[in-house]
Amino acid sequence: MVELSISNLTPSKPEQERVQVLIIGSGPAGLSAALYAARADLNPVVLTGMELGGQVSLTYIVENYPGFPDGVGGAEMVELFQKQAERFGARIEFDTATEVDFSQRPFKVKTYNGEYLAESVIITTGATPKHLDIPGEVELTGRGVSYCATCDGWFFKDKDVVVIGGGDSALEEGLFLTRYAKSVTIVHRRDELRAGAILQKRASGNPKIKFIWNTIITDILGEEAVTGIRMKNVTSGEVIEHPIDGVFIFIGHNPNTELFNGQLDMDKLGYLIVDQLMRTRVPGVYAAGEVADPTFRQVVTSAGMGAAAAMQAIHFIEANTESQTEIIAGS
């Protein structure tokens, strides 16, 4: 995880600031957009949100980003992205957008620390892990229930844990947990994994990992900490209780789009709708990365979308500056 420290915090700044490009979110999409906008001399400002780097900063290792044949740590990758964007003039603000008004330009974005007036906005707010919404989940989060193996795996040294889900995240995080845990049981609701072939092969070859198929978890048990789970076999209907120390949940993500309700178009899952040029329905407002991508959701695709969004924002600002200059010249 990328830590916030006092030295990272920005000194007091004017309450309202005018910027050319404001980027909301600091994952691979946001930081790539910042790099491109910075190289166009637009001095972009990046609002980090709660987590600099977004989800990738919590990933132990990224093995499928080109240019890193041996893989790269998620937190290290974020630092590299940040450094590269800052080198060309991007400014990273440890701040979170709380309200947006896209009804007129400059666009207004309120944050915890102030307000921005932006000629163009690039939204890269990413997504948040989905919850199972079962009894015990909320009550025991942080006391045995977790959504991040990299953050919490160490607490389960020599313990027995379950991982819920059958996608890439479940297997990747499950494999990571084998470093600490005595056993990792992957509980999946079907009898076939969604995860890619390489991860499937690694997981099935790991002696600490076993699978329970066609099974859902109905309750997480425990008072002060997790002590077990109640599971139901969806084929036979059989219900069993299973003692366990930790429950890691990796069942997908929800896009972080609440802030834009009523202002931008979204699909039925809540993802922002953009065209091929990363444009939302508001000219000058773009979206990139997982917030607008229910399909690929990879670091490399998010970074590409971020770069594309910034290139469009650059054209947009150029075109609008030119037309304003023409109006002034003609007046």
Q: Least CB distance from residue 96 to ligand NAP, whole Å? A: 23
190 lines the binding site for ligand NAP (CB under 6 A): yes
Beta bridge partners of 17: 116
252 lines the binding site for ligand NAP (CB under 6 A): yes
232 lines the binding site for ligand NAP (CB under 6 A): no
| DSSP conformation letters of 221-237 | E-SSS--EEEEEETTT-
- Span near ligand NAP by CB under 6 A; candidates 30-38, 42-50, 232-240, 244-252: 244-252
Beta bridge partners of 100: 109
Q: For residues 227 and 145, is the Cβ–Cβ distance under 8 A?
A: no
Q: Least CB distance from residue 60 to ligand NAP, whole Å? A: 11
* The pairing of beta strand 72-73 with beta strand 61-62: antiparallel
Number of chain positions touching ligand NAP (CB under 6 A): 19
Q: Pick one of 39, 108, 230, 297: the residue that binds ligand NAP (CB under 6 A).
A: 297
Q: Least CB distance from residue 26 to ligand NAP, whole Å? A: 18
Token pair 């946001």 in the structure block, residue:
30
Q: For residues 180 and 154, is the Cβ–Cβ distance under 8 A?
A: yes
Residue with smaller CB distance to ligand NAP, 149 or 164: 164
Question: Can 219 be counted among the known catalytic residues?
Answer: no
Q: Pick one of 1, 132, 148, 300: the residue that binds ligand NAP (CB under 6 A).
A: 132
143 lines the binding site for ligand NAP (CB under 6 A): no
Q: For residues 243 and 230, is the Cβ–Cβ distance under 8 A?
A: no
φ/ψ (deg, to 5) at 254: -110, 135
Token pair 């000058």 in the structure block, residue:
284
3-state secondary structure of 268: coil
Question: Can 151 be counted among the known catalytic residues?
Answer: yes
251 lines the binding site for ligand NAP (CB under 6 A): yes
Q: For residues 28 and 46, is the Cβ–Cβ distance under 8 A?
A: no
- Span near ligand NAP by CB under 6 A; candidates 68-76, 141-149, 247-255, 300-308: 247-255
212 lines the binding site for ligand NAP (CB under 6 A): no
294 lines the binding site for ligand NAP (CB under 6 A): no
Name which of 17, 19, 27 is nearest 287 in CA terms: 27
Question: Can 152 be counted among the known catalytic residues?
Answer: yes
Site string for ligand NAP, 146-185 (x = CB under 6 A): ------------------xxxxxxx-x-------------
194 lines the binding site for ligand NAP (CB under 6 A): yes
Q: Least CB distance from residue 108 to ligand NAP, whole Å? A: 33
Q: Is the dihedral of CA 54, 56, 57, 58 positive or negative?
A: positive
3-state secondary structure 163-225: EECCCHHHHHHHHHHCCCCCEEEEECCCCCCCCCHHHHHHHHCCCCEEEECCEEEEEEECCCC
Catalytic residue among 41, 70, 101, 151: 151
Catalytic residue among 95, 152, 168, 293: 152
Q: Which amino acid is residue 202, in one-letter code?
A: R
Residue with smaller CB distance to ligand NAP, 99 or 191: 191
Binding residues for ligand NAP, rule: CB under 6 A, are 64, 132, 164-170, 172, 189-190, 194, 216, 250-253, 297
Known catalytic residues are 148, 151-152
